[in-house]
Amino acid sequence: MRSTYLIARFRDLEEGDWLEVRCACGHVGRLHQPDLAQFHYMTLIRSIEPRFRCKRCRRRGDVIVTVINR
């Protein structure tokens, strides 16, 4: 697991990396490489946090995004 401050943009992700999105309610989602193709490669990883809505509690923006590598 690497800090998202070290990997600032999507272009900095390596093969096999994925994003773990953890909501305040405890729900965890994962975005793998094919799911990340929708974001522009220059997008800051931290800037996508407000876009997410939890499937469990329906809150928007109350998440933490972490980069996970294999």
How high is the pLDDT of residue 57?
A: 96
pTM metric for this prediction: 0.79
Structure tokens at 20: 């773990």
Residue 5: the pLDDT is 54
* Whole-number pLDDT of residue 46: 87
Alpha helices (H) in 1-70, listed in sequence order: 33-36
Is the confidence at residue 6, as pLDDT, over 80? Answer: no
Number of neighbours of residue 4 by Cβ within 10 angstroms: 17
Domain boundaries, the chain: 10-68
pLDDT digits (tens, 9 = 90+) for 20-66: 999 999 999 999 988 888 999 999 988 899 999 999 999 998 999 99
pLDDT score recorded for residue 3: 57
CB neighbour class for 7 (10 Å; exposed up to 12, middle 13-18, buried from 19): middle
Nearest CA-CA partner of 56 in 21, 28, 32 = 28
